[in-house]
Amino acid sequence: MGVSTLSDKQLNRARLLVSCLDRPGIVSVLSTFLFKRGANIVQSDQYSTDPAGGMFFMRIEFDLHEDDTFQQMNEQFTEIASQFQLHWQLSLARKKKKMAIFVSKEDHCLMELLWKWRAGELDVDIPLVISNHPDSKQVVENYGIPFYHIPVNKENKLEAETKMMKLLQQAEIDFSVLARYMQILSPSFVERFPDRIINIHHSFLPAFIGANPYAKAFERGVKLIGATAHYVTNDLDEGPIIEQDVIRSHHRYSSDELRVLGRNVERTTLARAVRWHIDDQVIVHGNKTIVFSS
């Protein structure tokens, strides 16, 4: 079981994410709202695309007053959000998100997530792992996590995704991670979970979209190879990017050697993106993301 990273002093910690059209007074409105309810702001980050008519984004971490309840604050903030036309998300840090992991045969990204979860670096619950291959069953169950083998092919894709959907609903999953899950999810599946499916693509997008990017990179003779963690949309490998990283290549490397080199980038890039999502550091705006530092 994963170890929580929250201290006793952080049990009443909450996070507020806000996006809206930029205008004078937004910061004052938000800070005054929290001040009047006895909340103590411990971190605040903001970003404006253009002070004159652009978009405004803000993330605030704060500790709730002992006499104030999260539910009350959530209801009261709804009035302000309506008045100022805010897109917002308010969450308690101690309420762990539930994360499902999808994997195929290659398990390096899966193992990175499981290791960081067990070490307490990912403050999340993992109720299940789903795979279209049985290869990772034993290692997943060794972590005490249920493993579901659901084969997928052209003939049974709808039936397979129906089973997956049922499992996610039963476990009340908040978001899913495609840890080198080598199947394209159907539009109907993706639409059920907007900005709640994170994928790792083994390429520095937008280069080498689709299958076999390392072979394509080898043919192109690139000097840098990378990985991209992004939210899944119905446009293949074109969803909002959360994190990217690269590592230097060499003309002596074969296609297989590039693949081995790239695995290290894939697993660390995905783990960072997942942690930022868990910690409510990401705001999606159109096909871009604003990622606030922790």
Around Cβ 113, how many Cβ atoms within 10 Å? Answer: 24
Report how far residue 177's alpha carbon sits from residue 242's, in angstroms, rounded to the nearest whole number: 13
3-state secondary structure of 60: strand
Outline where 51-186 has alpha helix (H): 70-84, 108-118, 137-142, 157-170
Tally: H helices and E strands in the chain:
8, 13
As given in the structure block, the two tokens for residue 156 are: 């049974």
Report how far residue 83's alpha carbon sits from residue 86's, in angstroms, rounded to the nearest whole number: 8
Contacts of range 264-269, beta carbons closer than 8 Å, 24 or more positions apart: 265/225, 265/226, 265/227, 266/108, 266/109, 266/180, 266/200, 266/202, 266/227, 267/108, 267/109, 267/111, 267/112, 268/112, 269/200, 269/226, 269/227, 269/228, 269/229, 269/243, 269/244, 269/245
Report how far residue 39's alpha carbon sits from residue 57's, in angstroms, rounded to the nearest whole number: 20
Closest CA to 112 of 279, 231, 273: 273
- Please check whether residue 157 is in contact with residue 186, taking contact to mean a CB–CB distance below 8 angstroms: yes
The residue annotated as part of the active site, out of 22, 174, 237, 279, is 237
What kind and span of H or E run contains 38?
A: none
- Please check whether residue 165 is in contact with residue 251, taking contact to mean a CB–CB distance below 8 angstroms: no
β-partners of residue 197 are: 176
Examine the residue annotation and report whether 107 is marked as an active-site residue of this protein: no
Q: Which residues are catalytic?
A: 237
